[in-house]
């Protein structure tokens, strides 16, 4: 019930992944024609790529439902589909290069960072198998690039929002070097010479350059896209928050406490903590223009150029006609409710000794008994983890007296 997607999201996913499935078959078919394969081999290649693509799509959806994405790839179906189809298209033409010069480390890593480790590994393997098939390569070639690609996906999957790529870059290139040496250089029937190291060395250099360029573009477009804006609007001394404080100190401090909890929980769950924090700060900002309607909140967002994800979360939170879908919206909803409940009880009795664990349990139970979260993307495991984090913050709640 909780993991259901909105109808719009479901339709979008079906259309994009359906097109991705069909185009992957077309690429395999065209590649087989290019290499002059007979009808039986042509059909085999097409069917195998379609089957592999089906596995990739299933893995992406499964990991999205389970909340295992690292780099906020939830709902980014078109972006991943383009990356996967680009990898398949590259796989068609890579057999024209010497096998020691295939940049599959880059393909594996990019497929991993645009999805997750499991999906990236499945997608990279399909691309690699296609190239090996067209090149008539041996098992050793697949082994070489599968191991180095898997290592690249794993080490880059450990990065946080700081996105420091130095160590993962070194480790992935080191594994690629070892794999190239073990599978190509050592097994060469010719006597060792400098010429044998030339193409593997070029592969390493090209892979390094492509990774640096691709990851720089990825970090700019995904990781750091709105960082400066978030640093500006998530400052408690930002002019809007100062105006809110002058208008109502109660609203201001409610926003501060809600933002603190939302930020903590979103970070622990690996979600967009900056957007969740911003939503918590500005959930009541519409009162600066009269009533806290979505029209007023939207006008403020537009005037101060809020990032798109923050506007989306605020709309879900403020607009009663809007379904709650985003996980960040759910976090802010619970944080707001818990802060409101604690403040209300302290206003009744400032010296009250509250059982925070019981209060949090009650808030969660009542929210889950309603249909408010039926269209949400959040999972039951994330709900339980969120509840655990709220209980761990019990020392903070005394600041609400």
pLDDT along the chain (401 residues), means of 10: 55 92 95 88 93 95 77 79 95 89 90 89 95 85 90 80 75 87 66 67 85 79 73 91 93 94 92 92 92 91 86 91 90 94 89 89 90 86 93 87 74
Classify burial at 182, counting beta carbons within 10 Å of its beta carbon; exposed 0-12, middle 13-18, buried 19 or more: middle
Domains detected in the chain = 7-223 (no CATH), 227-400 (1.10.3210)
Q: What's the CA gap between 330 and 316, in Å, rounded?
A: 9
Q: What's the CA gap between 65 and 286, in Å, rounded?
A: 33
Would you say 69 and 110 are in contact if contact means Cβ atoms under 8 Å apart?
no
pLDDT in tens, 240-289: 999 999 999 999 999 999 999 999 999 999 888 999 999 999 999 999 99
Centre a 10 Å sphere on the Cβ of residue 116 and count the other Cβ atoms it contains: 24
Query: Which of 367, 252, 368, 230 lies closest to 310 in space, CA to CA?
Result: 230
- pLDDT for the residue 349: 86
- Give me the DSSP letters along 23-50: HHHHHHHHHHHHTT--HHHHHHHHHHHH
Name the token pair of 2: 């909780």
Classify burial at 101, counting beta carbons within 10 Å of its beta carbon; exposed 0-12, middle 13-18, buried 19 or more: middle
- What three-state secondary structure class fits 323? coil
The radius of gyration of the chain's CA atoms, rounded to the nearest angstrom, is: 26
State which H helix or E strand residue 318 sits in: helix 308-318
Q: How far is CA 348 from CA 248, 250, 339, 344, 393, in A?
A: 20, 15, 14, 6, 22
Q: What is the DSSP letter of 6?
A: P
Q: What's the CA gap between 257 and 340, in Å, rounded?
A: 10
Q: How far is CA 308 from CA 295, 315, 341, 381, in A?
A: 16, 11, 30, 27
Would you say 3 and 377 are in contact if contact means Cβ atoms under 8 Å apart?
yes
Query: Which of 288, 286, 266, 291 lies closest to 277 in space, CA to CA?
Result: 266
Where do we find the tokens 């605020």?
314
- pLDDT for the residue 5: 40
Query: Which of 22, 44, 184, 162 lies closest to 101 in space, CA to CA?
Result: 184
Would you say 272 and 223 are in contact if contact means Cβ atoms under 8 Å apart?
no
- pLDDT for the residue 184: 66
């Amino acid at each position: 019930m909780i993991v259901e997607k909105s109808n719009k999201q479901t339709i979008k996913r079906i259309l994009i992944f359906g097109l991705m499935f069909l185009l992957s078959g077309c690429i395999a078919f065209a590649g087989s024609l290019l290499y002059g394969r007979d009808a039986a081999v042509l059909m085999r290649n097409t069917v195998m790529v379609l089957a592999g693509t089906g596995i990739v799509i299933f893995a992406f959806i499964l990991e999205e439902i389970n909340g295992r994405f690292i780099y906020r790839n939830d709902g980014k179906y078109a972006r991943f589909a383009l990356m996967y189809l680009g990898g398949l298209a590259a796989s068609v033409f890579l057999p024209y290069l010497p096998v020691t010069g295939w940049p599959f480390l880059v393909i594996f890593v990019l497929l991993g960072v645009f999805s997750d480790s499991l999906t990236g590994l499945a997608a990279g393997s399909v691309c690699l198998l296609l190239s090996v098939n067209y090149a008539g390569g041996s098992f050793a070639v697949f082994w070489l690039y599968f191991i180095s690609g898997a290592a690249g996906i794993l080490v880059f999957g450990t990065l946080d929002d700081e996105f420091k790529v130095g160590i993962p870059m070194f480790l992935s290139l080191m594994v690629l070097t070892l794999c190239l040496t073990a599978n190509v250089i050592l097994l060469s029937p010719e006597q060792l010479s400098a010429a044998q190291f030339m193409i593997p060395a070029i592969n390493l250099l090209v892979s390094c350059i492509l990774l640096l360029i691709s990851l720089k573009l990825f970090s700019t477009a995904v990781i750091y896209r709105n960082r400066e804006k978030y640093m500006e609007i998530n400052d408690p001394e930002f002019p809007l928050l100062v105006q809110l404080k002058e208008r109502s100190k109660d609203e201001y401090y409610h926003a501060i406490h809600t933002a603190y909890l939302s930020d903590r929980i979103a970070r622990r769950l690996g979600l967009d903590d900056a957007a969740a924090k911003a939503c918590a700060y500005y959930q009541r900002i519409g009162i600066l223009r009269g009533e806290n309607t979505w029209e007023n909140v939207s006008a403020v967002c537009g005037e101060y150029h809020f990032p798109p994800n923050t506007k989306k979360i605020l709309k879900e939170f403020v607009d009663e006609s809007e379904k709650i879908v985003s996980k960040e919206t759910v976090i802010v909803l619970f944080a707001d409710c818990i802060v409101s409940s604690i403040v209300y009880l302290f206003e009744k009795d400032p010296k009250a000794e509250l059982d925070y664990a019981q209060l949090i349990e009650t808030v969660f139970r009542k929210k889950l008994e309603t249909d408010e979260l039926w269209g949400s993307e959040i999972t039951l495991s994330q709900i339980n983890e969120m509840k655990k984090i709220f209980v761990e913050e019990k020392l903070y709640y005394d600041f609400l007296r």
